[in-house]
Structure 1
């Protein structure tokens, strides 16, 4: 973590080429459309965009675009009342209240969060759980309600057993649900009561248990970055440059974005950006350069914000330059 802070300060002052920028809405124009509709309180358009993206295609990014929009909680009660038997408004309300809950809690460490903030945080998460369960009852085949329940469960500290059941509920309905796998990776990491060993095992099993070309290959670099973040300065660099870490990254890349079955579908930019950072930290400049060439300047906020939360594109440019791209 000391290295993260130091690099953050250094890279915040760095000015590089201007042909790289954070991609808004992951390059999906429907995300921008649904966010604008949510800001305007236009439920018919929000509903139309969501219904046009089948559950099997993973609605995660669209749902978060609505959930991250301030003010949705003000007009959603009218929709819930008008459509008492419909699942979709309940999913949207549940996802919005997850973000609304974290807005009350803030991102501060637990010791700096007041009792009243925690009270509001937990109350909003319980509201979210109620709507998500109602949605699951109305549409038993949908994955989205259970995905939301993974996140509320972590905030309400339901424990590893219940959390695993909620994850399994998602993947029974959508086996390669990228968001659900990312949430479960967080659930089993050390900071949430798991361990490095469990986290890496989950990442490997998920990545290589899926068909070649899967976006789930990005769980492997995500897990290594997660452990790197937990280490002190010096130990973090040494860890990323071990032969075992490098070999696992290369195998995951071969099974993911290097595979002939890889498709540039929703979420692919996040996957390749994760590989780009991991290979850069592992000092495999050739593999990093390959990622940067594929990305062509398209930067996702994650994972670069770990080095500079305010200017993630600056970190991307610095790493790209080091890779000779």
Structure 2
């Protein structure tokens, strides 16, 4: 039985969107394709270029690990006689995490069977030792600790243990975009946190973000998570009128003003960043939800080209490419014809 299905990271949908590659990094495109075909050394070469850039390192690790799902054993075999042990161990640990989450799937906990959960935990447990050894070999690297946030969520660590991992992460890089995204997920209500904790984290991220840094998009992500959670709850409770009222009244003047200020903190002084496209998607999606901010939604969605992720924010409502295409049509943004 095949546990993992190979899925091309650069799948083009409807001649318009490349799904799963939310970056502007030609070298990463090439390496992802090579890894998907089994040429794993391409991944090691690319990670080796990132030792002084945690933001780029986390992005490339994320992409390469997803491309390598089902090939963790091949990555482990690269350790024999290698001088790049920290990079290989990091990639191995993160790929095992992604393999485990591929087994679990993206469904809510109540819809996952016991057998799948057992396989999920058994697989995920194999990520710990490689990540900790990678952290030991490169003690200043925050990226192994960022990966440990996802490990801890899956293994259902308690809050004290999660706090230790978070402190280890931010002590090495306090504005790492992907780490803040992971931490926000860990604080959501669906993972045992609360809306209050999640928003507190998002607002802290906005406050510490340097001028021109896309980290302020964490506030957009928090609102999208809040909307998803509350709308899902109302649907499950069959409270359709309450569902409609919730959506209509959600965007108060205070909510809109806070989102606009977070957006300005980034865009008024924006400098190129590996996670720019993800931030544009987040702000575009949240401003799309409120009719008075469609101009801002359009401003951001014009920046994403034909790249869309498989997950948040567009997967919250349905197929990501279809949802993004619908948003662009509503905003009268021409759909891209080919890769930008």
Q: TM-score, normalised by structure 2?
A: 0.81
- C-alpha contact (below 8 Å) 2:104/2:120 kept by paired residues: yes
User: Post-superposition shift, 1:305?
Assistant: 1.9
Quick check: 1:109 aligned with 2:120? no
Worse overlay, 75-84 or 197-206: 75-84
User: Post-superposition shift, 1:316?
Assistant: 2.8
Q: Could you tell me how far apart the structure 1 residues matched to 2:70 and 2:49 are? A: 24
User: Post-superposition shift, 1:235?
Assistant: 4.1
- C-alpha contact (below 8 Å) 2:195/2:226 kept by paired residues: yes
Alignment of 1:281-320 (within 5 A): 281-283=289-291, 284-295=293-304, 299-301=308-310, 302-309=312-319, 311-320=322-331
Q: Could you tell me how far apart the structure 1 residues matched to 2:132 and 2:305 are? A: 41
Over 6 Å off, 4+ runs: none
1:32 counterpart residue number: 29
Quick check: 1:275 aligned with 2:283? yes
Q: Could you tell me how far apart the structure 2 residues matched to 1:247 and 1:126 are? A: 43
Q: TM-score, normalised by structure 1?
A: 0.85
Task: Find 1:237's aligned residue among 247, 251, 257.
Answer: 247
- C-alpha contact (below 8 Å) 2:100/2:124 kept by paired residues: yes
- C-alpha contact (below 8 Å) 1:304/1:316 kept by paired residues: no
- C-alpha contact (below 8 Å) 2:22/2:277 kept by paired residues: no
1:169 counterpart residue number: 168
1:21 counterpart residue number: 17
1:47 counterpart residue number: 44
Q: Could you tell me how far apart the structure 2 residues matched to 1:116 and 1:210 are? A: 42
Q: Could you tell me how far apart the structure 1 residues matched to 2:245 and 2:186 are? A: 24
1:8 counterpart residue number: none
Q: Could you tell me how far apart the structure 1 residues matched to 2:73 and 2:295 are? A: 50
SS at match of 1:231: helix
- C-alpha contact (below 8 Å) 2:206/2:218 kept by paired residues: yes
Q: Could you tell me how far apart the structure 2 residues matched to 1:33 and 1:265 are? A: 20
Give the 3 Å change call, closer, same or farther, for CA 210–114 of structure 1 in structure 2: same
Worse overlay, 80-89 or 174-183: 80-89
Worse overlay, 269-278 or 62-71: 62-71
- C-alpha contact (below 8 Å) 1:240/1:246 kept by paired residues: no
Give the 3 Å change call, closer, same or farther, for CA 200–256 of structure 1 in structure 2: same
User: Post-superposition shift, 1:156?
Assistant: 0.4
Q: Could you tell me how far apart the structure 1 residues matched to 2:83 and 2:300 are? A: 47
User: Post-superposition shift, 1:251?
Assistant: 0.8
- C-alpha contact (below 8 Å) 2:32/2:63 kept by paired residues: yes
RMSD: 2.4
Worse overlay, 295-304 or 192-201: 295-304
Structure 1: runs of 5+ lacking an equivalent: 1-17
